[in-house]
């Protein structure tokens, strides 16, 4: 029973780390898109090449990245709260 509790806690922490890595990756991609929109570099696609549309795409990517970051923080908070609850209940 005790090993199962430690294992589930490790899984929670692993999931939180994975979400954080995904959030960082999305934020980097959003920054790259924003720089491409400012400089006019990058792939030229019909209907996407004008600066306003490219900037909107970059903003949308940033919004998704921020959402991923919030999910990562929430996952970490949930794992910490779960650990504190178990310690309070003396399950540990």
63 vs 75: CA distance, rounded Å: 18
pLDDT value for 43: 65
Q: Give the Å distances, CA to CA, from 67 to 3, 10, 24.
A: 33, 24, 11
Nearby residues of 5 by Cβ (< 8 Å), 6 or more positions away: 86, 91, 92
Domain residue spans of the chain? 22-89
Provide the 8-state DSSP code for 49.
-
- pLDDT grade for 20, boundaries at 50, 70 and 90: confident
Tell me: pLDDT of 1 over 60. Answer: no
CA 25 to mean position of chain CA atoms: 8
DSSP at 32? H
Indicate the pTM of the whole model.
0.63
Question: Higher pLDDT residue, 23 or 4?
Answer: 23
Tokens of 42: 């990058």
Q: What is the pLDDT of residues 27-82, one digit of tens each?
A: 888 888 888 878 877 666 666 577 788 888 888 988 888 888 888 888 888 878 88
């Amino acid at each position: 029973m005790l090993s199962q509790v430690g294992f589930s806690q490790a899984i929670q922490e692993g999931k939180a780390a994975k979400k954080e890595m995904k959030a960082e990756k999305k934020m980097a991609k959003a920054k790259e898109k924003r720089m491409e929109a400012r400089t006019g570099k990058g792939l030229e696609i019909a209907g996407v090449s004008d600066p306003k549309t490219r900037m909107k795409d970059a903003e949308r990517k940033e919004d998704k990245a921020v959402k991923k970051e919030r999910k990562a923080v929430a996952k970490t908070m949930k794992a910490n709260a779960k650990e504190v609850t178990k310690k309070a209940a003396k399950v540990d």
